[in-house]
Structure formats: structure tokens, C-alpha cells
Structure 1
């Protein structure tokens, strides 16, 4: 967040008042895309600490799975007058562009967002800044396959319990649960390959239709 903002010379990424951000896991897979018309550092920080963060509270996002963050700042939207809703509406095309760009490049052809952004006409994105947030001294432990499998299995269990306890109107959380189980299956299979217990195969995860 202290990196210089390439779209606002003299400002840092964390000072941006409008932009789109993406979280990536330890495999470089996109796991969440969001946008904000408030302070970027505060917004991202709430996700990583679980404070007033719906994606974390609903077990859509596990902060400990976030290895990298990428940010696209949008100073021209921050400078717009009027209500915050006006700036939020102006942000939608950028959020949609980032979401579907990352989805297309994902091994699972998916991002874990509960609410899928509408597919709008893509727009030209500004320069982005991407960086790793996990310190070197913690990387080896957090990136260990067995540690990641254990955390992801526990996370899937909590999400499954939430789904079972709620009368869901939409399918967003159920879709996220399905994607999380796919990611868990892939991670456990890769561990078996690594230990030479099975042979690697070229199969790809099943795509999931979005609502």
C-alpha cells in the first residue's frame, strides 16, 4: 500500500479513494475481486483482518489464503462530484473488466465472489500494482501443501455449515461452496502427485455456470 500510485504521481496506492482490487492465492489463482470508492488501504485492510467484511464473514474469503494483491487505482472516478453512488456506478465497468479478465485466466475459470459482477462492455484498464503481502519468514509455512489443505478443508466446512443454516434466496454462496470444493480437490490431488502416490493427469476442473 506504500507503493507509488502509477496513476497519481506523488500519491501511494493506499491513499487512493477509488479503484478495483484483486486477491490471489498461493498458486497465483484469483480468489476475489472488489472495488471501493473510499480509502483503498482501509478497504483492503478490513478484508484481511475480517473487520466489517461480508466476504470474510460469510466464509467466501479466507484472509490466510491471500498471498498477492493487485490494485487498479482510478483517480478520475475519485475526483467525480456527487454522491458515492455516482462513483460506484462509474466503477462497475472497471470491476467487470477485471473480474472477467482474471476469470478467463484462471485454472478453474472462476473467481470466488458470492455476487458475480454483470458482464459489461470491457474498458481499458489503468496501470496496476501487484505485490506479495506474506512476509518471507512466513511464506514456507503458510505455503506448505498440508497446511493449506487443512485450512481450506476447515474453511469449506464452515461455509457448508453456513449454507445449511440459512434460507438462501440466491445461489451465490452455493456456487462459491462448489468452487471451493473443486479447489480443495485439486490441491489434495496435487499433493498426491508431489508424493508420487498417483500419476499426474491433464484433466481440468469442471466449469461452473454463473448466475
Structure 2
């Protein structure tokens, strides 16, 4: 993936207001994804981030689905609020860690582009689509769970998934930094500690505790995989007589 960002070595951070490399890289790649043309009808396209109604899902560095959401304000606005502005409850409470997101998939609903956000039928359709995508994510997860604090709104309407767009939002340079298993283990442990602190300081519902459990399982899985890959029990040193 080409890197359009000017190297920091050519800019003096003391005198130019620009964010750290990883933050700037994410913003650039996220904008590129959200500006991708999406064909909603024959010879009719729209930038995928400009769809008002839709469902989105985030995937981590193992391709694991980690979070599903919906919006009727605009896909661009909602996704940016999670990943760049970090102003959603999911991020603020350490339910979702933007550092874990490698890929995004979106399911726009072009038919409701001009529909009011209060339209009851459109909202039922959106809720049904979120239920479908959430169930798919859970079924395909190694842990049979994702990191959403709440379940999708209930309902009896059943819909089919529309066309979607999925792409990576991390450059090769950032991928090299963040994909190392020891970095991921450390980052996962950090997020778990933050979430546990949130839980300890508030009266929370079961959803946050479910997220904590899921994150703990994901951490154990990463640590176990790393331990086994490096030799497992055979890699553990034995004490010598002089150590006793």
C-alpha cells in the first residue's frame, strides 16, 4: 500500500501541528476507504462513507470479527467517531480498542438514503440487518463472541445481507509495528486492565462483564499461541544446582 504521508524526519514537530505517524496514517487510510466508490445501481455510484443508513463491522489482525454497529446518520461519521475521534462509549470505556482494527466491512442501505432517521420501517430493516451481521460475526468467531457491550435490538423481521465492501485501513508500515504478537499481547493486556478498572469503579450491567471475559479469552489465546509457537514447555529453562 503506498504511503502518501510525508516522513516525519522532513517536518519539525515542534513547529508544525501534525499528529504522530500512526494517527496520521490511520486518518489517511480511513479516508481512502470511506471515499471508495460503491455502486448502488447500474452506472450509479456514491462514496461508501456517504451512505446514511448501514451496518459496519471491525476485524482484528487475525481476521476475527470484533465489533458490529449500525448508523442512520452516515457511515463516515459513525466510523470516524469510533476510530479517529474516539468519542463513542465503546472506545471511551475500553470496550473497543482502535489499535486492534485492521479491516472494516460496511453494508450500506442505498434504498433509505433520502429517508428520515425516524422512519419506523427503515429502522426495523436496519435493526434486522444488524442482527444478521452480528450473528454471522459470532458464528465465525473463534470465541463465538464479539466485543459489543449490548445485543442488537430485538425483532422478528428477517432480511438478507446487501452488497458490502471490505478493506484494510492500515498501511504496511503500521501493520509491521502492530502485528507483532508480543505487541498485541501487551496491548490486549493494557485494554483489559483499563476495562477492569472501569468495571471496578461503576455499577455496570452484564454486557461489560461479558466483554471483559471475551477479552480475557482472546488474550489467553494470543499468549498460548505465542508460547506454543516458541517451543512451549520445551522452551522453559530448568534450574541448575547453583540456582537452588
Shorter-normalised TM range: 0.7 to 0.9
Return 5+ residue gaps in structure 2 as ranges: 1-33, 235-244
RMSD: 1.8
- Displacement of 1:78: 2.7
Per-residue Cα deviation, 1:96-146 (whole angstroms, up to 9, x for no partner)? 000001111111111110001137554111111000011111111100000
The equivalent position to 1:92 in structure 2, one of 127, 145, 162, is 127
| CA distance in structure 1 between the aligned counterparts of 2:156 and 2:61, rounded to whole angstroms | 29
Name the larger-Rg structure: 2
Alignment of 1:96-135 (within 5 A): 96-117=131-152, 118=154, 120-135=156-171
| CA distance in structure 2 between the aligned counterparts of 1:78 and 1:152, rounded to whole angstroms | 38
The equivalent position to 1:7 in structure 2, one of 40, 50, 71, is 40
Alignment of 1:176-195 (within 5 A): 176-195=211-230
Q: TM-score, normalised by structure 1?
A: 0.88
Q: Tell whether the 8 Å contact from 2:91 to 2:98 is kept in structure 1 after alignment.
A: yes
- Displacement of 1:167: 1.0
| CA distance in structure 2 between the aligned counterparts of 1:190 and 1:179, rounded to whole angstroms | 16
Q: Tell whether the 8 Å contact from 1:47 to 1:56 is kept in structure 2 after alignment.
A: yes
The structure-2 alpha-carbon separation of the partners of 1:122 and 1:194, relative to structure 1 and needing over 3 Å to count, comes to farther
The equivalent position to 1:71 in structure 2, one of 100, 103, 106, is 106
The structure-2 alpha-carbon separation of the partners of 1:183 and 1:120, relative to structure 1 and needing over 3 Å to count, comes to farther
Alignment of 1:1-211 (within 5 A): 1-7=34-40, 9-81=44-116, 83=118, 87-117=122-152, 118=154, 120-168=156-204, 170-198=205-233
| CA distance in structure 1 between the aligned counterparts of 2:39 and 2:147, rounded to whole angstroms | 28
| CA distance in structure 1 between the aligned counterparts of 2:146 and 2:117, rounded to whole angstroms | 32
Query: Relative to structure 2, which stretch is displaced further, 2-11 or 157-166?
Result: 2-11
Secondary structure, aligned partner of 1:6: strand
Query: How many pairs were matched up?
Result: 198
Return 5+ residue gaps in structure 1 as ranges: 200-211
Secondary structure, aligned partner of 2:36: coil
Q: Which residue matches 1:207?
A: none
Q: TM-score, normalised by structure 2?
A: 0.76
Runs of 4+ with deviation above 4 angstroms: none
